[in-house]
Amino acid sequence: MSTCRGLYDPFIDPIRGIESIENSGAMELTQCSLSQLPDLVGATEQLESDELNTHVVSTVRELLCCPICHRPLVHDPAVVDTCGHAFCYDCINLGIENGCVPVASTVQVEDKEDEGRKEKNELSVVSEKDHHTCLSRHGRKQPRRRTRQRRRKFTCPVCLGPAHKWNLVRVRFIQDVVTEFLSHAALAEAFSTAEGENDVPSEVRTETICGDKKTPRRKEKIAKKHVEL
């Protein structure tokens, strides 16, 4: 088994594997950075009630969720030993093999769509205020083309570094840490919405990761398969 550093079994000695990942300094805020977890645990323990600051909840969700499916990392978490980013094993395994859209480009597309909607609303307000039936040629909004997202194979979708199946290391310690965080009632409630939205059949999630479009016949076959089960 290929591991982070040296030959060891992460299930027998998970702490050693985690220390090697932490010392590499490769983890970012979008991942489960173990150096930040003690501070977050202390912050949640000091709360007198179940009410959490919105910033704390969003930060914890970024740290403890898979960047691909956005679910808590309790479903067989795995780490890419070349960069230290953590994912659900099934998500990153399929993403490496079939290719997946980089996380950064997905966020940029969403931001551009929000900016486009804001510009459209501003133009409509100006036209109503000036009582013009049409905008001037200079102020006419040009049609916005949707940027095609390119899928990348054998690449970490977070940092775009090299990643292969033999670089995946299952780390059970991450699952234990996430489970401990979810023992807090407020955190569990914050995560429950995302968990329900992303709890989809494996076939559908596979196509979402790979970016393939489902044909009506494909949808019918998937539905029939689940009915038989």
Summarised one tens digit per residue, pLDDT across range 87-141 is 999 999 998 888 888 887 544 444 444 455 555 555 555 555 554 444 444 455 5
- Neighbouring residues of 170: CB distance < 8 A, sequence distance ≥ 6: 10, 11, 76, 77, 78, 89
Average pLDDT over residues 219-224: 57
Residue 184 has pLDDT above 70, yes or no: yes
The CATH code of domain 50-102+150-192 reads 3.30.40.10
What pTM was computed for the model? Answer: 0.51
Structure tokens at 4: 């982070």
Name which residue leads in pLDDT, 51 or 60.
Answer: 60
| Residues 59, 43: Cα–Cα separation, whole Å | 12
Domain edges within the chain: 50-102+150-192
Q: Which whole-number Å values give the CA distances from 201 to 69, 151, 196, 209, 214, in the listed order?
A: 12, 22, 12, 12, 14
Structure tokens at 227: 């009915």
The upper half-sphere exposure of residue 103, i.e. CA atoms within 13 Å in the direction of its Cβ, equals 21
